[in-house]
Structure 1
Amino acid sequence: MNNNVKQSAIELCKQLKNLLTQISEEQFIAPLDLFSGSSIGQHTRHIIEFYQCLIDSVKKGEQICYEDRQRSLTLESDKYNALAKIDEQISSFSQLDNYTEDVVLKVKDYAQNLEMNEWSSPSTISREMHYCNEHTVHHLAIIKVGLMHYFPGLNLNDSFGVAKSTYAYRKGK
């Protein structure tokens, strides 16, 4: 697997972990109107489960299907469980080097009438990790909006919730 992609995943997970250590359990689970009633915990679970879906599918030799993630209530309602899972995932990223880079992405695409259509596409572990990273940045950006609105004063670095390309552009690179 591409080492830069893996390092980005580790950095993003550490950003999320740093945030979670700064907020209370109550802040973690609070339904926020700005998020249409969802919580930081639910966004955290969503991030974790995308990475976990990739890791588990690769280890089992199965197609990767992000729609089939677990949706664990424990991850979204117990900050300490989420922190432990993030640590576990960071350790698992290096294990992906032991598997063939080629994978198959399985997509369950729902039509407007909610009829499900499945399709598959060849991919690589590195490509899917990059997708998970971009997905994580997107959700960190959403979380950041909620934090700034409801819980100002947290110590977040200036790259929190910002795509690397955007961050580099802002820095004149």
Structure 2
Amino acid sequence: MIKSQLEIIEQAQLYLNQVSQEDYTAIISPNFISSAGSHIRHIIDHYLALISGLHNNEIDYDKRGRGTSLELHPALAIDKLNEISDWINHLSERQLNTLLPLKTEVSMTSKNVQTSIARELVFAGSHAVHHYAMIAQISFAQTKALPQTFGLAPATVSYMRAR
């Protein structure tokens, strides 16, 4: 579990280490309405919701840092991802299994469910890969090459290896 999360975050770090600030912040309209930087910031927001949730006894994915400097500066995003990796690396089994309320607008009438840090890490990782797929398309439009597996779900990569 921990190793898989660190591998997912490492994909973003590798991307961030090679992307220019110009490409990171570019919005290629009309095909895209957001930059790669906004996708990375959104991914980070979800991991920060888990960190905050463990401290505040409630995970809230609706609290987001839209328009922050993380969207503009790859180096700041790398620093934040390093902090998140350190946090994940130091999670205890007890913390992973901690049950917490999850507050999120899943519908107009229901906003709370019970969950665990472990379950939400699985979600955050899957969510990150989903956004990596969008970043891959943005990079493709910028004619920049990324690893072939960037933005592919682990199950998809396993399927491709088995063929």
For normalisation by structure 1, the TM-score amounts to 0.84
Cα distance in 2 for residues equivalent to 1:121 and 1:46: 22
Give the corresponding residue for 2:134: 142
1:45 corresponds to 2:41? yes
User: How much has 1:99 moved relative to structure 2?
Assistant: 2.3
1:119 corresponds to 2:142? no
* Count of equivalent residues: 160
Aligned-partner SS, 1:108: coil
Structure 1 segments unaligned to the other structure (5+ residues): 112-116
User: How much has 1:137 moved relative to structure 2?
Assistant: 0.6
Q: 1:129 aligns with which of 108, 118, 121?
A: 121
Cα distance in 2 for residues equivalent to 1:164 and 1:86: 20
Is the deviation greater in 134-143 or in 96-105? 96-105
Moved over 3 A (4+): none
Cα distance in 2 for residues equivalent to 1:62 and 1:143: 32
Cα distance in 2 for residues equivalent to 1:51 and 1:32: 26
The percent of aligned pairs where both chains have the same amino acid is: 29
Structure 1 letter corresponding to 2:140: M
Aligned-partner SS, 2:131: helix
Structure 2 segments unaligned to the other structure (5+ residues): none
Q: 1:16 aligns with which of 12, 15, 18?
A: 12
1:65 corresponds to 2:60? yes
Aligned-partner SS, 2:88: helix
Determine if contact 1:29/1:76 at 8 Å carries over to the other structure.
yes
For normalisation by structure 2, the TM-score amounts to 0.89
Aligned-partner SS, 1:99: helix
Determine if contact 2:126/2:153 at 8 Å carries over to the other structure.
yes
1:162 corresponds to 2:157? no
Instruction: Check 1:79–1:54 CA distance in 2 against 1; reply closer, same or farther (3 A cut).
Output: same
User: How much has 1:94 moved relative to structure 2?
Assistant: 2.3
User: How much has 1:144 moved relative to structure 2?
Assistant: 0.3
Deviations 1:59-91 (A, max 9, x none): x14211101223351110111111110111100
Is the deviation greater in 123-132 or in 100-109? 100-109
